[in-house]
Amino acid sequence: MTDQRTRRRAVLLTAGMLTLLLSGCGRPADPAVAPTPPAPTASSPTASSPTASSPTVSTAATVASTAAPLRECTAAALPTRIAGVLTVATGASREAPWVLGDPADGQGLDVELVDRLAASLGWTADQVSWITASTSDVDAFDVLVDRHTAAEVQAAGLEPSSGYAADADVVLVAAASGAGAGGLTAADLADQRLGAVAGAASVTDPQAVDTPGAVAVRYGSVEQAAVGIGAGEVDAVLVPLAQAFDPSVAAVGLTVAGRLPAGQWQPEQLVLALPPDSPLTACVSATLDKFRIEGTLDELVAIWIDPVAPELS
């Protein structure tokens, strides 16, 4: 009899413990805990993806951007290399439309982008410090903006953010032709022989741009392309947007006529670069994704890119 009572108590005790465990597993998460913003993924605008009538944004990016403000994504909560200061680097070559003069003056697409990003995260204008640096100066900055693609950033051992501008192909023509910005249409190009410089989407990812004709000749540099135009090999040359306003373009007698519209796939994106394992990367990317959804990135392109490289129609 004693053994039976002992076994009965053991069964009841075991059943009670299982009930407690099962009820604990079903408890919902604490709604007061803010989610951690997602790191950039291949489906975010750093990678090629299908385009539609509206900008392509990954599901993860949409969730991060439309959720309630994240407690972690504030200047007070984000550690920087100098406490209380966001150190932003840009390259030594500062030309329109990216950086005009002193970045502290806030002129240029790259500068205004960073200013809006910093303000959105809670840094004031006098808490943003601009320096000159490159991808090799990884210990000098919190964020680097210098017209890099994600592939270039990763090759340098840094972390890319989400994209902020499409590195679409730009059409270069001889400055002497008089066909400056807005002087050509897509129909005009259909009857011309086109060349392309290494890195142009028309060569690396033809579906990313709507090229009006086949690329007849490929060149290794802008200088070689200028020689080709001068020799009559081609009438116009395609280069990535990031290279289109380099001083070397004007130096060899070429000028920007416009940029090609996007094709079936989203072009390579320009991104910000951050040090490896940066605590800022997720919040910077979430903020850029938010800007994309709100139309801020399109607004910046309309202000700084469209006047000097209008989309060809």
- Using one digit for the tens of pLDDT, what is the confidence trace for 43-64? 344 433 333 333 333 333 333 3
Q: Is the pLDDT reported for residue 194 higher than 50?
A: yes
Q: How confident is the model at residue 72 (pLDDT cuts 50, 70, 90)?
A: confident
Residues 279 and 292 in one domain: yes
Q: What b-and-e string marks burial along 8-23, b requiring 16 or more CB atoms within 10 Å of the CB?
A: eeeeeeeeeeeeeeee
- Of 30-44, 63-77, 246-260, 269-283, give the range with the top mean pLDDT: 269-283
Q: What is the pTM of this model?
A: 0.75
Does 2 score more than 60 pLDDT? no
Tokens of 148: 């890099």
Q: Quickly state the pLDDT bin for 123 (edges 50, 70, 90).
A: very high
The two three-digit tokens of residue 73, written as one number: 């994504």
User: Is the confidence at residue 143, as pLDDT, over 60?
Assistant: yes
Average pLDDT, the chain: 79
* pLDDT at 246 (0 to 100): 92
129 plus 187 within the same structural domain: no
Q: Which of 2-6, 102-106, 302-306 has the lowest mean pLDDT?
A: 2-6
Give a yes or no: residue 107 inside a domain. yes
Structural domains counted in the chain: 2
Say whether both 157 and 208 belong to one domain. no
Give 134 or 177, the one with higher predicted confidence: 134
Q: Does 13 score more than 60 pLDDT?
A: no
Residue 195 has pLDDT above 80, yes or no: yes
Q: Which class for 198: exposed (0-12), middle (13-18), buried (19 or more C-beta within 10 A)?
A: middle
Whether 141 and 275 share a structural domain: yes
Residue 146 near residue 271, CB atoms below 8 Å: no
Inform me whether the pLDDT recorded for 97 exceeds 70. yes
Task: Clarify whether residues 215 and 276 are in a common domain.
Answer: no
Angle at 259 between CA 50 and CA 102, to 5 degrees: 105
> Do 74 and 160 belong to one domain?
yes
Contact call for residues 270 and 147 (beta carbons, < 8 A) = yes
Domain membership of residue 309 (yes or no) is no
Question: Are 106 and 241 members of one domain?
Answer: no
Q: Which domain, by its residues, includes 106?
A: 59-166+268-304
> In this predicted structure, what is the pLDDT of residue 27?
33
